[in-house]
Amino acid sequence: MKKTLYALSSVLLLSVSSFAQNTELINGRLRATIGSQGQTTFVNPGHSFLDVMEDGEWVSLILEAGLLIGGQDPNGELVLYSTQGADLEAGIRDLGVEISQPWRVTGEQILAHLADYNDNGVVDNPIFEIFAWPGTGSASSEEYNGFPLWDDQNIFQMSGFWDSVSNGSYFPSQGDYPIVSIRGCLDAEPRTIPEEMIFIPILLRDDNGQLVFEVQLTAFRFGCEEMGSAIGNSLFFHYKILNVSGMQFDNVYVGYWADGDLGCYRDDYLGVFDDRKAVYFYNARAEDSFCELSDDNRFSGPPAAFAIDILRGPLDQTGTEIPLSNVMPIYNGSVIQSVPPATTDPATIMEYYNYLSGRWRDGSPLVDQGIGYGGEGEQVAFPFTGDPAANTGWTEIGEDNPIADRRAIMSSGPFTLLPGAINEFIFSLTFSQEPDLDHLQQITELRSKIDTVQAFFDSCFDLSGMMPGVCTPLLTGTEDELIPTNNQLLLYPNPASNQVNISFPVNESGTLAVFSADGRMLLQKRTLSDRITLDLQDWPKGLYVVRWKGEYELRFNKLLVD
């Protein structure tokens, strides 16, 4: 029998009572709406997945969107799994636990938790959202969520956290805290804490109800003091994809579907910054059109342009990252009768797979002329890579393409997805709506903004090396006295049997703590000299983590008692 996760704290009930239907992630003027099961699809008029604030009103940028995974199963059959649509299942695999609302934590809660712990090495006032956060192997999940994050066979891969004691499991009572777990960015403690993070695990099953993929969505944002900051007006989406089927899939593409609706959806164009691997939507006219069904959801000033910047693609079977490989425009055939049916919305698995692999519904290639279909053009991977503002290269406005609704599928592949593989698909959402720029000049400004966001991501969200004024964070990382160093704590001998000597920085007092492999603190004592000796004769054989916290730094090492 399945059981449903219910809040166990009035504090949580107050903070997420609005989650029953959806939750909003707002950064500056940008808002994303995420459903209770991780949906990013809302088809009711006036309520889109992504909106921008203009003159106190929310105006649409993306109506709906979703992750796509397409490939061949072991029998050679095409299969497609997606978070697109309203019918999703959120839960913890193999535990029979349904999730009725996302987990949510703020940067202020993280800093308060760290201040509490760093004061005396003990969390005196546990914050529910910190202790309920579903970090891998969480020691507090059963108490705060009502269920553990493991069973007899597995410790399930869950959300990211800073592993302060290096034991691989989430122990907030020992100073661990939620982070965004980005491959290549886990060797140093984060110096910029997100203003807010939302996490929800989505279960994708086959037609027989068998679980195939667990897709873990982490949506997050960074606050900046500067009102017009690109970083402070962007949202980040991290999809972690776990192949839990036990099967190998071949010729796989991982992609993203987006239905761009810039205010009135009837006058939009699409383009690609091919060197940045970003897709953007812009208004075809200087003023936004009136739509008979959504006159109140249009831009009254200069129409915005917005971009989906693919920051990281999946890994292939050799561990090599696959960047954005294809972008396919899709035309809304219900409002553009002049385009060929092969360029309109996909309806079958084969048609979705064709789009993912860089072809039209009928398998025809994308070519660099007109709308990209037919003719004598050269086959290409990306459409409309010219510059509309400069009127150079291949652009929709230069080709005088039909003006109307646009969608896009962007994808990375093909590759072989092995059983147990864990992958990432990460992107940012950024817009430009400067009052003194027209609809085409917004594109030039948008390019500059996503360059800033990309540099921020490439630095593992570290603002210290960026130009002043780009973003003055509303929240910073851990306090200066807790700067981790690359110097390991010196232990000798190691492995040890009877005793171990531990050396510390000269003339610096601190606190020594020893943890078992499962995260339990076994010893804690003040150190006033540069060396101490521990008697190990009564210690069980095994691996231990030794941590020393001085006034300005943290040092760690692993000790093997044999």
pLDDT at 284: 95
Helix H or strand E segment including 54: strand 50-54
Compute the distance between CA of residue 316 and CA of residue 252 in angstroms, rounded to an integer: 9
Amino acid at 21: Q
Residue with tokens 């760690």: 556
Count CB-CB contacts under 10 A for residue 492.
9
Domains of the chain: 3-458 (no CATH), 480-561 (2.60.40.10)
Nearest to 312 by CA among 386, 254, 358: 254
Contact between 307 and 446 under an 8 Å Cβ cutoff? The reply is yes
pLDDT score at 313: 94
- In this prediction, residue 1 carries a pLDDT of 27
pLDDT digits (tens, 9 = 90+) for 399-426: 999 998 999 999 999 999 999 999 999 9
Kindly state the tokens that stand for 392: 């150079």
Rounded to a whole number of angstroms, the distance between the first and last alpha carbons of the chain is 45
pLDDT at residue number 551: 67
Residues (pLDDT < 70) of the chain are: 1-20, 43-46, 152-153, 292-296, 465, 476-487, 506-507, 516-521, 551-552
How far is Cα 128 from Cα 144, in angstroms, rounded to an integer? 7
pLDDT of residue 47: 72
**pLDDT per residue as tens digits for the range 21-56:** 788 999 999 999 999 999 998 755 557 899 999 998
Residue 41's nearest CA partner among 31, 49, 32 is 49
Tokens 């342009």 sit at which residue? 305
**Alpha-helix residue ranges (DSSP H) falling in 268-379:** 349-356
Cα-to-chain-centroid distance, residue 258: 16
Question: What is the model's pLDDT at position 73?
Answer: 97
pLDDT at residue number 213:
97
* C-alpha dihedral (199, 200, 204, 205), degrees to nearest 10: 140
The DSSP element (H or E) to which 256 belongs, if any, is strand 249-260
- Kindly report the average pLDDT of the chain as a whole number: 88
d(CA 426, CA 240): 8
The pLDDT, as a whole number, for residue 10 is 26
pTM: 0.82
